[in-house]
Structure formats: structure tokens, C-alpha cells
Structure 1
């Protein structure tokens, strides 16, 4: 669970992500998005990602990252949800997707 945060334009939200890996090395894309979550799913407005190589892990190992999302004028002032996912690039084993966290980011306009 994330704590609610406030950001204005040209600031960055860091979305913390933890991922537990076990097995052979793999290339992953660690992805986070800000948007609206509702009955029809998650409507992404802004996102950020980093591509990483996860090393061989002989036992379950938790890797932690903070994915930056720049707040741009593509998003209107308001309160939004955040979600994250790990996309397995080299193994093709699918995505690991978090539950969206509601009311996590408030975007405001400085006056």
C-alpha cells in the first residue's frame, strides 16, 4: 500500500515496486502508471518504466525499485490511481500485475 502524495507539473512521482524472483536470469520491464481505475479497468494517463536484467537467484529474492513518472500537462488536476507491473521480456512467462491503488496521487496546479 502506498501513501497518498501530491505533485504539480514538472515534478516526479516515484512508484515503489518490489518483485520476488526465483530461478534463471531474465530481462524484465518494470512499469508503473497513473490513471483512473473503474469498472472497465485501468485507464492509463502517464507512465514510466525501466528495463532491468534480474540475475540468477537460487532462492526467492526480492528486488525493489522506484519507477519515476514525470507529471506533465497530459494529466488534469485531480486525484488518481497508480498500478505497477513486471513484464517478463526474455522468458515470455507473462506479466505480474499489482492491484491498482486508488486515490494515491493528487495532481494540482500551482497558483
Structure 2
């Protein structure tokens, strides 16, 4: 939903598959008790932070085969990389403002 309805990539630079992998990594690396309705904005922030890092470094390990880099085939050029970085940073800022009041 974040990729398709909010980010709306023009090409396949960010896909729902990319977002799903980020969710799987978050679930793998954190206790299940940390995921509840009250922590939605926290995890959205965390996921966007991982996405921003993946875009800036062009590195995101594929969940099923961590040696594979999902960003290697992302069709992301330098201009898009900068634009996505700013867009995601703005989203993170909005989440912080909402979450922290």
C-alpha cells in the first residue's frame, strides 16, 4: 500500500516486493510482542528508514536469499535516488511530528 498508493513509483524503482522484504526483515529481527496496534507508526518509521538506506546505498538483501541484492535491478538512476531520498525523508519527518506530537 505504501509503495503503490503513497510513493507511486513511475518505474520499478520501488516495488511492493521491496516493501514486503523490508517487513520480513523487521519481523525476523524483532520480537513478535513488539508488533501491536499501538506501534504502527514506529514500525512505519523503521520500515521507511530501511527503505531510505536501501535507496541511498542501493543495497537491500533479498529475504529468502540474503546474498542477492534486490536494489541491483531497481532501475534507479542518480536523480531518482536523490528524489526518493528527499520524499522518504519528508515522510519520516511527518511521522515523527505526528507520533511525537
Short-chain TM bin? under 0.3
TM-score by length of 1: 0.26
Q: Which has the higher helix share?
A: 2
Q: Which has the higher strand share?
A: 1
Q: Max radius of gyration: which structure?
A: 1
| RCO comparison, higher one (Cα < 8 Å, 6+) | 1
TM-score by length of 2: 0.27
